[in-house]
Structures are given as C-alpha cells and as structure tokens.
Amino acid sequence: VGQSGDAQLDFDGLAGPLSDRIVRQLHVVPTGFPAGQSYAGRLQGTKKLVVQLPDDWVEGSLEATLSVFPSTLADLQKGMEGMLRDPNGCFEQTSSSNYPNVLALAYMEEHDVADPQFTRRAKDLLKRGYDKLTSYECPETANDKKGFEWFGSWPAHEALTAYGVLEFRDMAAVYDVDDAMIDRATRWLLDRRDGQGGFKRNPQALDSFGAAPQNITNAYIVWALTEAGQTGIDAEVSHVVTSAEASDDPYLLALAAASAHNAGDKEAAARLRQKLAGLQKDDGRLEAKETSITRSGGASLTMETTALAALAWLKDPATTGQANKAVEWIAANRQGGGDFGSTQATIMALKALVAHAKANRRAVAAGELVVRRDGAEIARTPFAAGRNEPIDVGQLAALLQPGVNSLEVELTGDNEMPYALDIRYRARQPVSDDACPLRLATALSSETLAAGDTARLNVRLENVSGAGQPMSVAIVGLPAGLEPRTAHLEELRDAGVFDYYELRAREIVFYWRGLSPETRDAGAIAFDVDVVAEIPGQFTGPASRAYLYYTDEQKQWTAPLTATIERK
C-alpha cells in the first residue's frame, strides 16, 4: 500500500455453480508520528499563502485539503467533524461534539433553509448523541437520577449540569427531549445554591485537581442558566456581576456581561461589556487571566475567552465593532480539520459564529475556488449560488513539495468566506511538546507470542510539572493483532486505576479527571492490561500519546509498539 486512506478487500469464492463474496473495509494508516499545520482566515478575492513543509516525511502520508465555508451550516458541519476525530468519552466532550447538530437544525428552521439530506443526517446523529448523553445522568439511588457528571458518577457536577441544561433546552426546540430530565437537573442545580450568591460544589470536584476556581464555576453556572432562560436567580447574577467588576479576567467578565444582559440588568451588562472591550488585543483576541470551566490552557483557553466575549458583545449593537474583531480572530484561528481547539473551545467558537451570522446575513453568489502554486493553476472548483456545504479542494498533496510552497487562493463571484488549509503528514521522529506536563511510557511484556497467548501491556503515566493538572488523557496504540481483555479493563476502572476508558480502532483511551502533583516517580500511575494475541502476523501499532484534554495542542508521544504473533 503506497498511501493512507480507505481500502476495500474483496474475497470471491467459487464452487461449481455456487459463488460467494466477502467484502471488508480497511482504513490504512501510515507509520510514524502524526504532524501537521493549519492556515486559516477570511478569503475575498485573491490571497497568497506561503506553506513551509519539512524536508522529509513518511512516504505516502502527506495530505492537504483546502476548505472554504460559504455558510454557517458549513462551519457547523466541519466543526463537528473536527471534534469527532478526537476521543469524546466524557459528558462535556460528548455534549460539545453533538451540539453543532442542535445549532444547525435550529439555524435551518429559523432561516427556512431546505436541505433534506443534511437534516436527515443531523437528526440521526442527534439521536445517537442524545441517547449517549442521557446515559450520563447521575444516579443518587437506583431509582433517583439528577444532574450530570464527567462520566455519569454520583455526585453530580454543578457546572457540567448547567451546561447540560443549556444544551438540552436548545435541543428541545428541534428534538423531542425528556422535559422531566431537564427539570430534575434544573431543580437539583437550584438546590445547590449556597444562600450567599454562589453554588455548593461537588465534593469530588473539590478534591480534584481538575476543578475550576469557585468564581469561574459560579459565573459559568449562572451564564448557562440565564442563557437557558432560567429566572429567579437574581442573587446569583448579582454575585457574579460584583465578582466580575472587581476582576480584570476577560473570561469571567464575558460570562458576567452576558448573564447580566440575560437577567435584564442592562446597566451592569453595558459596564461589563465596556470593561471587557478595554482588554481586547489589537488582533481581536482576549486572553484569560487564569483558566476556564474545563481548566483549559493555551490556544483553547484563548479561543473560549474570545468566543464568550463575542457572544456578550453581540447582545448589544453598541459593541458590534468589538464583536466583529473577535469573530475575525476566531475565523483566522480555526484548525485545518474544522475545529477550533478542544471541544469546549470549538462549541463556544461555533456559538459565536452562529450568533454573528444571524446579525450579518450575506448571500452566496455563484463562483469558483481557484488554487495556484508558483503562478500555475493546480485546482479549480465551481460552486452554485446559495451553497451551504463546505467547498473542499483535496488531492493537493501530490502538488506540494518539501520546503517553501507559494500558493495563491482565489474566490470569485464577489464572495467573502472563511477558509482553512489543513496539512497532515507523518514524521519519522516524535514531535512532542516540552510544555506538555505529562510523560507516558508503554511496553509489552513480550513482543513475540503464539496465537491465543496473553501478554501484559505496561502503561506508566507521570505528571512532571510539580502542580496539579486537570482532565488528562493517555491514548495507547495497540498492534492490530492484539485485543485488550475488556473484563480486565473494567476491573482496573472499578479499582480506581483510571476514571474511564474507551476503545477506538487499535487504541485504548484512558481518562483521569485530574492528576495530583505527586503523580511522578514512585507515585506515578502504573498498571498492566491483559491483551490477547488474536491474529498471526507482524504488526506495528499507532504511536501512543498523553496530553491535557483541554490543552490538546501540547502532546507527548511515545514510539509505536510492535508484535509478532505466530501460529500455534
């Protein structure tokens, strides 16, 4: 196989007049360590891009796709696709990756957009997502569920429950949602008020290094509830406003400004929006002083903060200019795959784009998307007026070369649209980020086995930062001939070795709600997983990696595992 992608194997059998065929689909993945780069912004007329590629990469692994987004539906579709590439085993991740379907269906109804195929697909995805989301409702007793938590364990998590209430309220406009479930969650959340303008906190969260600060938690809960139309929380809104007025944290200010507006306190909202405007950078972004509700960091934290600020500013025409600058920055910092960073960052960015589009509707004229390299045309894609779907130009990889590539992208028809150029390849050496506070090591107890034998997969995870860390993930790649014993994984989870796990193609994803500063050296997390040799052959697994889920641009990679499985 010379390149990555989807492949099909056909097996034909003949016996006299009888015949049969077996078809199997395969996804071919190259060796090496995933790497890539993205270019994004707004396209009107002609734009020049200078793409710097490395001198070498694994042969056949280079992929390059240019995407242009003519509509809000295109933004939502690509954003969802980008989120689904990554693990999404917890409530927030599942919620955020499902939310674009809610926003898309609501947008189509509001703007009378007819697209039966898109609608059918979105509703199918929404049903699957809804069924999974409801499984995270927390059981206080066998017959009494209320609220939501990262992995559906009691006690429920206040901020995640507020996020769930907001999404389910939005979802109810386009899908049949269990109102009793929303009411249970809302009542539980209101019962968690502490009588002083704040909210009590899940004891598990208080003991976890994944917990957000109290003022951020209060503000996020109030924001989500007021966005969902909840009334009767004036004391909590006032408390958040007072906290924000004494702060210069744009994340907190954005939540407070929107909450005050939603609650009808227009004067406080205006003051907070203006204070927020004074913290906007020249390029449109805003940088949080501390962290977010998911303890995000890096690029994702900046994206969340800027998106929330845009949402707050869009509530008042007086701050339209600030909102426009923020949205321009959001569009220019889209990842090539269509997402905007972590799941929370992506859904907040998409919410901001949808809100901005409602206030700035613009028709798409018929035109063409043209790509040139060094002045020579290499692709031309026409599109019709009123197009909603993303405009993708693939197969660019064969036309790119190591080193500098001077590209020119042209959009005709007097159109202006966001664009993203996604370039992916496999490097021969790991591209770990030293800023990642996690270190992962993996090994097999034996690399040569007989079919049917059991080996031990050794996993060791350290937090080398000296500080507590929030939601952490280790993705361990398995050689294709090995299968993990799920009963053993269940035993390890129940014993508290990790908080949750999920199985993906040739990978086990392990989750921890948070890691203490002592998770290193003798205190490192170390465990073995039983794996069974199922299929004879020689196999190399995907590279393993560890990272903070909400700072996912910083990863630490380890070499792929190999296994030789012999016939008995």
Q: Which residues of the chain have pLDDT under 70?
A: 1-3, 204-210
User: How many other C-beta atoms are found inside a 10 Å radius of the C-beta of residue 207?
Assistant: 12
Residue carrying the six token digits 């938590």: 149
**Residue 305 · residue 287 · CB < 8 Å:** yes
What's the count of helices (H) and strands (E) in the chain, helices before strands?
14, 22
542 neighbors 557 (Cβ within 8 angstroms): no
Residue 556 DSSP SS3: strand
Name the percent of the chain in helix, strand, coil, to the closest 5.
35, 30, 35
Q: What's the pLDDT score for residue 16?
A: 87
Residue 473: CB partners within 8 Å, gap ≥ 6?
A: 87, 509, 510, 511, 512, 546, 547, 548, 549
Cα–Cα distance between 483 and 480 in angstroms, integer?
8
Residue 3: the pLDDT is 66
Q: Which H or E element spans position 466?
A: none
Phi/psi at 28 (nearest 5 deg)?
-90, 125
Note the pLDDT of residue 109.
85
- Residues forming beta bridges with residue 49, ordered by sequence position: 407
Report the pLDDT value the prediction gives residue 26, as an integer from 0 to 100: 78
Structural domains in the chain plus CATH codes: 87-359 (1.50.10.20), 438-566 (2.60.40.690)
Model pLDDT, residue 379: 92
d(CA 154, CA 157): 8
Beta bridge partners of 427: 33
**Digit-coded pLDDT (tens) for 533-549:** 999 999 999 999 999 99
What's the burial of 74, exposed, middle or buried (CB within 10 Å: 0-12/13-18/19+)? buried
Please provide the DSSP assignment of 540-564 as one string.
EPPPEEEEEGGGTT-EEEEPPPEEE
Q: Examine residue 382 and say whether the peptide bond preceding it is cis (omega within 30 degrees of 0).
A: no
Other beta carbons within 10 angstroms of residue 270's beta carbon come to 17
Residues 393 and 402: their CA atoms lie apart, in Å, by 20
Q: What distance in Å separates the CA atoms of residue 255 and residue 218, rounded to the nearest whole number? A: 10
Residues 341 and 553 sit within 8 Å (Cβ to Cβ): yes
d(CA 167, CA 293): 16
- Tell me 515's DSSP state: B
